[in-house]
Amino acid sequence: MWGIVAVYFITLIVVGILTSRLVKNSGQYYLGGKQFGPVFTAFRFASTFESGAMMVGTPGMAYASGMPAFLQGFLSPLGYFFAFRVFGQRLKVACDHFNTITVPQLLEKRYDSRTVRVLGSIAILIGLIGSVTAQLKAMGEVFAMLLNIPYMYAVLIGVLVVGIYSICGGYLATAWANFIQGVIMLVGAIVLFSYTSMAAFGKVGGFDFPARLNAEIAKVNPDMLTITGGGQVPVLLIIVFIFIALTVGLAMPQQVVTLFSMRDVRVARISLVICSFFSVILLWSLLPSAMMAHIILPAVDNPDRVIPALVSSVLPVWLGGIFIAAILSAIMSTVGSIILVAASALSQDIFSIVAPQVYEKHPVLYDRIAVALMVIIPLLVALKPPAIIFWIILFSFGMIVVTFLMPMFGTIFWKRATKHGAIAGMLVGMILVPLWAILGDPVIPGLLLGLIAGPLAFIIGSLVTQPPKEIVEPLWEAYSQI
């Protein structure tokens, strides 16, 4: 088992070293030279989106509460539809039109305002450091559990591998890594499903599979088959899931850069199909597998341990190694993409503004240093988390979404949007959402409040000022060419 995990790690490091030779400038380092076709685009987009939660946490929820766990994933195809069909092509055209590398740069050009760029970079740094730390902690815990090593070594090994390939090869390395990781995730999920259903029913799948599984689940607890799982699925939670799915391609910079890196706008079309298959295969093999654990395993106390327990009981040792590599892949692909985006905000949007002469001398070197910092800082935080980080993790997702949603929307859909509107909307995300988290989310969750207040501030701020026509008109002309 260790052998397979070691092969997986070594492959990733080799990818990092090989791709590092191809990097000549920042555009190549952070966007891989914008040369990616549908397969790489789709695998990067989907594997970044599906984090470790999809491989461990969500199946655990399916084991514990049944059908409601499917909520987390069944909107994914619609989410990909919005990402590629509704937003993707325009985002790609805007990125090429302004010749930008990062999301804050795109906003700067569209709104003709350096303030917007700086605000965007700060939001990315704070928000994504929170996300990276949360993912690193999860990675350490899962590695420690699966490989049976202490948490500290687990975090160190995982970070070392992600760190090496991200620092060396930048976007190109993470794109290759995400492709390899995506393939391993799919193979692992299908293998686990096949072996689990052999153990449970003596055959794989079949048209009567859902009926048989449901009959068995009904014996354990019939409530697990109802819409709410016997408990109350909070309406707010459903709204949040729908919302996340529909905005993933617009408000999350680590996803948006994948759209920037496409070879041309047509790539979005096949990517949409591949992404949809990706999420459906993962969802419909992992969640039913976890539910079948009720048939073949004695009761498991901690739902997060269901998948590891299945792996050790139904899979042969060497296939268990592949599945563990799949879980590691899910986490590492997300971590790698986030680290790269956070680093691009640091070097491209902050360092290059503060010290342009120094940066321009060796841009790729400073880009690499930025990635190294983005690996080391969250690592130190994850090894010994200070109290403030739990609080940052709490609001980081809401902050990123609220800060970027409306300015990005204005970039691709609303001509009337102005820099004052964008700044007002971003400040709501960066101040109100964290403040609401300090107050303990009174009355409504900070994310929802931000989603009401952010757009209001954005619209009002835009309507009372005038947009720069000389920037907007050529951009809309470019959109009309799609």
Partner 1 sequence: MVWNMPTSSFLFYYVLPWTSFLFVVIYGIFWAMSKR
Instruction: Compute the least distance from the CB of residue 273 to partner 1, in Å.
Output: 4
Number of residues assigned to the chain: 482
Question: Given the complex with partner 1, which of 144 and 239 has the nearer CB atom?
Answer: 239
Instruction: Compute the least distance from the CB of residue 271 to partner 1, in Å.
Output: 9
Question: Given the complex with partner 1, which of 23 and 272 has the nearer CB atom?
Answer: 272
Chain positions contacting partner 1, by CB under 8 A: 67, 70, 74-75, 77-78, 80-81, 84-85, 210-211, 214-215, 218, 225-227, 266, 269-270, 272-273, 276-277, 280
Instruction: Compute the least distance from the CB of residue 472 to partner 1, in Å.
Output: 24
Instruction: Compute the least distance from the CB of residue 320 to partner 1, in Å.
Output: 29
Question: Given the complex with partner 1, which of 150 and 222 has the nearer CB atom?
Answer: 222
Instruction: Compute the least distance from the CB of residue 77 to partner 1, in Å.
Output: 4
Question: Given the complex with partner 1, which of 84 and 179 has the nearer CB atom?
Answer: 84
Question: Given the complex with partner 1, which of 54 and 161 has the nearer CB atom?
Answer: 54
Question: Given the complex with partner 1, which of 61 and 129 has the nearer CB atom?
Answer: 61
Instruction: Compute the least distance from the CB of residue 137 to partner 1, in Å.
Output: 31
Instruction: Compute the least distance from the CB of residue 221 to partner 1, in Å.
Output: 12
Contacts of 227 (CB under 8 A, 6+ apart): 67, 68, 233
Question: Given the complex with partner 1, which of 240 and 335 has the nearer CB atom?
Answer: 240
Instruction: Compute the least distance from the CB of residue 284 to partner 1, in Å.
Output: 9
Question: Given the complex with partner 1, which of 73 and 182 has the nearer CB atom?
Answer: 73
